[in-house]
Chains A and B, each alone.
Chain A
Amino acid sequence: AQSVTQLGSHVSVSEGALVLLRCNYSSSVPPYLFWYVQYPNQGLQLLLKYTSAATLVKGINGFEAEFKKSETSFHLTKPSAHMSDAAEYFCAVSGIYNQGGKLIFGQGTELSVKP
């Protein structure tokens, strides 16, 4: 079975500060991990994905995430927050033997950016 836990349903940072959104996963098979962002009244947009190549994954908009197997974590970071980063962020997991494209989402973290 697979699951995802996002620590903190709401994170608030100041503009220019480090963004850290936490994601821990549970998977009995090698996982594929994804971060998606959702802006108000829009669908989900892929930020980055881990598919067993490099453990440090760079994504769009200056975001990156590091896969740490020993900690079963895939935290999302950005060195300097911008006002436009305010959105809902979802971590998701699927498996190498994934049945038909089933993606397991975390509960989401709402990021607020203060001026």
Chain B
Amino acid sequence: DAKTTQPNSMESNEEEPVHLPCNHSTISGTDYIHWYRQLPSQGPEYVIHGLTSNVNNRMASLAIAEDRKSSTLILHRATLRDAAVYYCILYMNSGGYQKVTFGIGTKLQVIP
């Protein structure tokens, strides 16, 4: 199964950009890269996803390496509300279904 590797924790100052890295060196050609974030005592919420090209939405940007073995979630201006655990995950085909498994994620601390 393709796995992802993220740093356990990161810090950022408020109002500054944040780059959250993710390694997925065993990704297959059909695996989508998704990012979610989880606030305390809540379920994860979807942030962004991509396959090959860089993606932007109102929440964040996703930069995908050309060989697809790594990606970076970019928060352009961190706010205190962005403090959360960020998960980088791959959607893996499993017998026709799609398993969606989460790692430990990166705990982002935003410093005022």
Question: Do A and B associate with each other?
Answer: no
Chain B residues engaging chain A, CB cutoff 8 angstroms: none
